[in-house]
Structure 1
């Protein structure tokens, strides 16, 4: 096992925000023991990843250096480094990230993973571990907070938009987790999303397509309230009318404002606030894995959505990092 010199690494204090202690840490200083130049992931610095060959970035879904500089700060410390057991990891974290992003972006099967990535079963084990332990959700939330701060906003929103999308399900989806949406005439699953005013995901829930928006809202809104205490206002479409408005106000102290389409309007019309949620769905549909629901478990579908949104946000933060570096010489030379 390759390890850094004693005392060369320091883990930042775990965060606590009304829930369990965070499993995501940041290594603030460490000397690399990597045999692969340029890779500073923890598996290379302290694990056994150097025993495996590296790879050259070649796909559009690969993490750029600018993105990695942002994502790495929110990457998890493995259990074996945090004295939680396990053995040093043998595959580069950046390669694992590239592999999951490739699958989500291109919609391939797990067994069709390109040969330059780690074996597909190791990549799937990485995906499954991050899904089951909530690590992908926490990475997503940290990137979202970074994007909101970069836009000059508070990390926690005060208003949100709720909407749903029905998608067809593949034959791998069992009957117990799929249904028929009579309005959209779709046999599959339904994605219930709550986003902030920038279109960034706050909460996601995947249900059978037969689940009504109001029933799903009674499940997803308490989760939203638990995680975002400053939230007060939610915009929704006509599918959320009825007793749900009074229920949200009495039990969750949330104002559910329904944005309805005018009876005099014909054809396509962009409705206030509701277009934000529709734009988020269009971002998700750019990743081919989400064009149809292929996951056997709804939790895997939710994880795929989170991975897709991490790609959107890491690219945005990466572009900002590049712009900041380009402007730095001008600022230094300015009088």
Structure 2
């Protein structure tokens, strides 16, 4: 058992909640699965590189092995899917939302390489994080792509997997960058698209109806140092880092 604990570590009650998703037949003197997950949570929170994980954890090669394995298995994504439904029910809502908000955030990339391009509108060279969230700010899909790609190019790739996992019709709220997709969304997904226009036409910050929810989710990611810039070579690792942070946020919202 580790003697030193970190603020990013799971609490006992949080671990008991998600422990069934990490079953194993191997017997150990201590719960390695929890230590591995704590190490994975520490990296995006503090910005720590895998090779520089504190010595209290398992060797970094072991931590990265499980990060990659759980990413490929979709285990963290499955866990996040279950948690967001649990959080919604605890807050008195249905497990499935009737409304989604879609938007993207441009972030700079590091020198590690991988897919990247220039977003002329935001003056950012890097990638875009494309999120579809419910009215609680919980993610229903995450995609990362080059910053130079238009939002409309990826809208259906973000929304289509959600459509396959739910039977409820939805209203999708978006900004003017998704203008013109309403008919396609209705024909292909059976949902309706609502474009939210700015109430304050003057330049500067304004709180837009519904869209402030996804902007709040992006602001939550700002509290995770490794997510202030995209340090991952592969976009699937970038998506998993975002899901890991949102998984921890969802756990914190459980009673």
What TM-score, normalized by structure 2, do the two folds share? 0.95
Q: Helix, strand or coil: the match of 1:206?
A: strand
Query: Following TM superposition, by how much is the alpha carbon of 1:218 offset from its aligned partner in structure 2, in angstroms?
Result: 2.4
Higher mean C-alpha deviation, range 297-306 or range 264-273: 264-273
- State how 1:228-243 maps to structure 2 within 5 Å: 228-242=166-180
Task: Determine whether 1:212 maps to 2:150.
Answer: yes
- Structure 1 vs Structure 2 CA RMSD: 1.5
Matched, 1:72 2:12: no
Match of 2:218 in 1: 281
Q: 2:205 aligns with which of 246, 253, 268?
A: 268
Residue from 150, 153, 156 that aligns with 2:93: 153
CA distance 1:269–1:263, change in 2 (3 Å)? closer
Q: In 2, Cα distance between the equivalents of 1:147 and 1:245?
A: 30
TM superposition shift of 1:263: 6.2
Task: Specify the alignment match of 1:179 in structure 2.
Answer: 117
For the residues of structure 1 that align with 2:117 and 2:240, how far apart are their CA atoms?
A: 20
Count of equivalent residues = 253
- What TM-score, normalized to structure 1? 0.73
Q: Which runs of 5+ in 1 are unaligned?
A: 1-53, 82-87, 321-335
Q: Is the 8 A contact 2:174 2:194 kept in 1?
A: yes
Match for residue 140 of structure 1?
A: 80
Q: Residues of 2 paired with 1:227 and 1:284: CA distance?
A: 25
Aligned: 1:165 with 2:112 = no
Distance 2:242 2:229 in 1: 12
Alpha carbons of structure 1 residues 264 and 315: separation in structure 2 relative to 1, 3 Å: closer
Shift of 1:264: 3.9
Once the two structures are superposed, residues 215-270 of structure 1 have per-residue CA deviations (whole angstroms, 9 ceiling, x without a partner) of 0102212112112221420100111002x111101111110100011464443211
In 2, Cα distance between equivalents of 1:231 and 1:123: 40
Deviation at 1:89, TM superposition (A): 7.2
* Aligned CA distance change for structure 1 residues 208 and 89 (closer, same or farther; 3 Å): farther
CA distance in structure 1 between the partners assigned to 2:235 and 2:88 by the alignment: 28
The answer for the alignment partner of 1:298 in structure 2 is 235
Cα distance in 2 between the residues matched to 1:273 and 1:138: 26
Provide the residue aligned with 2:10 in structure 1.
63
1:173 to partner: Cα distance: 2.5
User: Who wins on radius of gyration, i.e. which is larger?
Assistant: 1
Q: Is the 8 A contact 1:166 1:186 kept in 2?
A: yes
Q: d(CA) in 2 for partners of 1:139 and 1:246? A: 33
Aligned residue among 34, 56, 64 for 1:94: 34
Distance in 2 between residues matched to 1:158 and 1:263, nearest whole Å: 27
Does the 8 Å CA contact 1:157/1:228 hold for their aligned counterparts? no
Conserved 8 A contact 2:22-2:33: no
Match of 1:202, SS state, is: strand
CA contact (8 A) 2:127 2:230 kept: yes
The answer to whether the 8 A contact 1:71-1:314 is kept is no
By how many angstroms is 1:154 displaced?
1.1
Distance 2:237 2:46 in 1: 17
Shift of 1:65: 1.7
